[in-house]
């Protein structure tokens, strides 16, 4: 097999790093199988084959775009896939994706932490201990210890919902970007 085709496959493999190893190997083998078939059956040269397949990063991006869009759940693997995707997505992605992803995960994290802190404060209040490092402050208003817990739950839910909404928005953005790209390729 030609060195150029080998390099091509290696590049795809590198771009797909965030995917599971078995899935990646399967993708590479399928492309490799097509390359060898085009070479043997159609007598195509390495250059012609690579031209047909297109830029390795574009092909890798198509795989990753489909993998991210396919479901709406949150997982660490998905998060890292998305992070790798933004590197391929181009200029707007360089701003929107890192900001949205960090912000959405941050908000969801805060949303989860707030009620926990509220419980600590509330337990402290029950047994008569002042917990000075947990307090609910809004502008000049400081909530008394016994309402901190319900307030923290409400705040937590709101923060989490905001994070979740951003996450969804980001998925939609990725979908638009990858569809837009596909459209351009089909028009060529």
Partner 1 sequence: MNIDDWKSQIKRGTLEYSILLMICKRAYYGYEIMSELEKYPILSAKENTIYPLLRRLLKEEFLSSFWQETAEGLPPRKYYSITEKGKEYLEAMSVEWGNLLTAIEEIKEEGNGQKNA
3 versus 140: smaller Cβ distance to partner 1: 3
> Does 98 engage in binding with partner 1 (CB under 8 A)?
no
Quote the CA–CA distance of 34 and 121 in Å, as a whole number.
63
Minimum Å gap between C-beta 100 and partner 1 is 23
The pattern of x and - marking residues 43 through 82 that bind partner 1 according to CB under 8 A reads ---------xxx---xx--xx-xxx--x------------
Which one of 36, 126, 158, 161 is in contact with partner 1 (CB under 8 A)?
36
Minimum Å gap between C-beta 61 and partner 1 is 8
Burial string for 131-157 (b: 16+ CB within 10 Å, else e) reads eeebebeeeeeebebeebbebbeebbe
Which one of 7, 34, 47, 51 is in contact with partner 1 (CB under 8 A)?
34
67 versus 107: smaller Cβ distance to partner 1: 67
> Does 2 engage in binding with partner 1 (CB under 8 A)?
no
Question: Count residues contacting partner 1 (CB under 8 A)?
Answer: 30
**Which residues fall within 8 angstroms of residue 133, CB to CB, at 6 or more apart?**
none
> Does 32 engage in binding with partner 1 (CB under 8 A)?
yes
Quote the CA–CA distance of 178 and 16 in Å, as a whole number.
16
Minimum Å gap between C-beta 4 and partner 1 is 17
Quote the CA–CA distance of 17 and 84 in Å, as a whole number.
8
Q: Select the span of 33-41, 75-83, 90-98, 163-171 touching partner 1 (CB under 8 A).
A: 33-41
2 versus 150: smaller Cβ distance to partner 1: 2
Residues near partner 1 (CB under 8 A): 26-27, 29-34, 36-38, 40-41, 52-54, 58-59, 62-63, 65-67, 70, 179, 182-183, 185-187
């Amino acid at each position: 097999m030609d060195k150029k085709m080998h390099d091509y496959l290696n590049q795809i493999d590198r771009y797909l790093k965030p995917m599971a190893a078995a899935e990646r190997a399967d993708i590479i083998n399928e492309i490799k199988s097509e390359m060898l078939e085009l070479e043997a059956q159609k007598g195509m040269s390495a250059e012609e084959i690579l031209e047909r397949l297109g830029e390795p990063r574009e092909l890798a991006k198509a795989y990753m775009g489909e993998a991210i869009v396919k479901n709406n759940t949150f997982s660490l693997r998905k998060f890292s896939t998305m992070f790798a995707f933004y590197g391929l997505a181009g200029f707007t992605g360089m701003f929107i994706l890192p900001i949205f992803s960090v912000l959405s995960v941050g908000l969801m994290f805060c949303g989860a932490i707030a009620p926990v802190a509220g419980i600590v404060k509330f337990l402290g209040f029950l047994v008569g201990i002042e917990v000075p490092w947990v307090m609910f402050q809004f502008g000049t208003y400081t909530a008394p210890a016994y309402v901190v817990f319900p307030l923290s739950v409400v705040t937590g839910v709101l923060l989490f919902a905001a994070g979740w909404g951003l996450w969804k928005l980001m998925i939609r953005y990725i979908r638009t970007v990858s569809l837009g790209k596909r459209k351009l390729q089909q028009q060529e």
